[in-house]
Structure 1
Amino acid sequence: MNEYSDECLDIFLKNQGQLFNENVAENPEEAEAFLEDCMAAVIDTIDDVRSYLKESGMDVDGMEDADLEEASEVFALPSGKYLIVEG
């Protein structure tokens, strides 16, 4: 199905420990299935990340962009986009 790019899958596999105590995926196929199951979102800009998190109920008022990028559910992608995984 390939809803998520190789970039998303790679970053999630390498950095899943920032959100989970144990690995939830061991390979790209498992990562994609997991991301699909939890309806992870790929977001274009940090402003869009702020809006997404606010709509999801997170209190982001007063948070700097750097704080948003360091949130455990936010995975910065090399392309400049963001993967948001709500655990």
Structure 2
Amino acid sequence: MPKEEPLVVRLKARMQEMKEKELKYLGNGDANSHVCKVCFESPTTVILLSCRHFCLCKSCSLACFEGPICRTSITDRIFAFT
């Protein structure tokens, strides 16, 4: 088997870190955890319109033009305070 490139190794390691971080936030396996589905670091604070998914932090929501779950176009955002 050919040796993997250093970039591929780093990307795989980062993906594993992100998965472990998400599992830590999930705790009991709740699929609706309140951690951003893009950065996996900040809490979710934005409700996307028109799909109404509550899945992004403020900075990621401002950088996205499509919802990360359903890929529908984001028409507006509601910033929630939890």
TM-score (norm 1): 0.29
TM-score (norm 2): 0.30
| Greater relative CO (CA pairs within 8 A, separation 6+) | 1
- More helix per residue: 1
